[in-house]
């Protein structure tokens, strides 16, 4: 049956959901303001899960840059050593319009001494902070966390500080939803149409661009699932059958005793996770599974073979973020926010709680 002409497309339904995501601090007034008025208002420092050991055939280069995207930095680092850009390792993409501190790895034979390498790097348009040898290349995902310092401009301290502190108190106490940020979905969320076009072709996903569009679809479905869970009143609860994650080790398990798990959840020992849909995803059980399956049905994506066709194995994503180190300080141009997020989390999900910008 052909849907009525006025029926929104699936991409449009996703877009509508993305612009109405619930707030963790609903009921508290926002403060407005703007981010990234200038790059210096958005500082991010990448934290690796390990430090360079001082030996090995890779050079760990920690640098600070402004106005450069990650792939262009990698290509520029490769040139003085006669390497291909793909030989330079990095853990994650970072904002271009920001002041970013990040570590890259460059393959460097032991016969090349550090003084020679430093001389080659000195001519590049980056601030070199440290250089040391290590045994392995930095690969995508080799990031423990990102530390942010962000200035919210266009607000006055007299009017904005008190409500901002109230929002910060609520976030430190209750955490916030780990939504994918708006930048995941592109300008005007155009990536959603491209993702659905890939689904409708019903062909295996090939190449990096197609793989990215599959991840956009998975991200949108996760946001929908989490938004619906919060709206039905289960955002701060553990459900029977949830796939929970241990906060200390990252291990996953299916909740078979909701009462016992609820105590651990209240003590922040565990957090429930949401679906990154895929044919190898660890499934929820009981009532939690029904909710995850309903999202796919609601968006006409319940074909059991779909994610296999898209070559999407799937995974789990923690549903809540805890901001124990969130600080708010007065700044000459507004307010300064400092906080740390685990890899894969978006600073914009924190900032929207303050600005209330869709």
- Among all residues, which ones are annotated catalytic? 95
CB 276 within 8 A of CB 216: no
Cα four-point dihedral sign 234, 240, 243, 247: positive
CB 120 within 8 A of CB 319: no
How far apart CA 61 and CA 171 sit, in angstroms, is: 35
Encode burial over 20-58: b for 16+ CB neighbours within 10 A, e otherwise. ebebbbeebebbbbebeeebebbbbbbebeeebeeebbb
Look up residue 57 and give its DSSP letter: S
How far apart CA 42 and CA 98 sit, in angstroms, is: 5
Print the SS3 string covering 24-51. CCCCCCCCCCECCCCHHHEEEEEECCCC
Q: What are phi and psi of 263, to 5 degrees?
A: -65, -40
CB 180 within 8 A of CB 162: no
């Amino acid at each position: 049956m052909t849907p009525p002409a006025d029926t929104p497309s699936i991409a449009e339904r996703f877009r509508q959901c993305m612009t109405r995501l619930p707030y963790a601090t609903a009921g508290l007034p926002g403060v407005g303001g703007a981010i990234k008025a200038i790059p210096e208002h958005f500082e991010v420092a990448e934290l690796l899960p390990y430090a360079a050991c001082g030996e090995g055939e890779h050079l760990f280069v920690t640098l600070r840059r402004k106005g450069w995207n990650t792939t262009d930095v990698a290509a520029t680092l490769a040139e003085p050593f006669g390497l291909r850009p793909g030989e330079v390792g990095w853990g994650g993409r970072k904002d271009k319009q920001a002041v970013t501190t990040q570590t890259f790895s460059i393959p460097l034979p032991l016969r090349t001494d550090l003084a020679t390498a430093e001389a080659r790097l000195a001519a590049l348009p980056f601030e070199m902070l440290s250089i040391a040898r290590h045994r392995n290349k930095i690969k995508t995902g080799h990031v423990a966390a990102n530390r942010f310092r962000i200035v919210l401009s266009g607000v006055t301290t007299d009017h904005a500080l008190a409500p901002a502190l109230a929002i910060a108190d609520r976030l430190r106490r209750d955490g916030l939803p780990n939504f994918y940020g708006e930048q995941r979905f592109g300008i005007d969320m155009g990536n959603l149409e491209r993702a659905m076009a890939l689904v409708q072709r019903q062909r295996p996903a090939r190449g990096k661009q197609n793989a990215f569009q599959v991840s956009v679809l998975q991200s949108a479905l996760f946001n929908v699932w989490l938004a619906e869970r919060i709206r039905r009143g289960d955002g701060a609860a553990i459900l029977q059958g949830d796939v929970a994650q241990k906060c200390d080790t990252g291990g996953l398990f299916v909740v078979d005793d909701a009462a016992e798990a609820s105590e651990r959840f209240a003590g922040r020992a565990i957090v429930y996770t949401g679906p990154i849909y895929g044919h190898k995803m660890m499934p929820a059980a009981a009532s939690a599974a029904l909710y995850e399956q309903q999202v796919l049905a609601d968006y006409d994506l319940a074909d059991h073979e779909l994610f296999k066709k898209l070559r999407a194995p799937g995974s789990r994503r923690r549903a809540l973020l805890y901001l124990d180190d969130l600080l708010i300080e007065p700044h000459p141009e507004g307010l300064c926010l400092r906080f740390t997020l685990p890899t894969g989390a978006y600073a914009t999900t924190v900032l929207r709680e303050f600005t209330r910008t869709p």
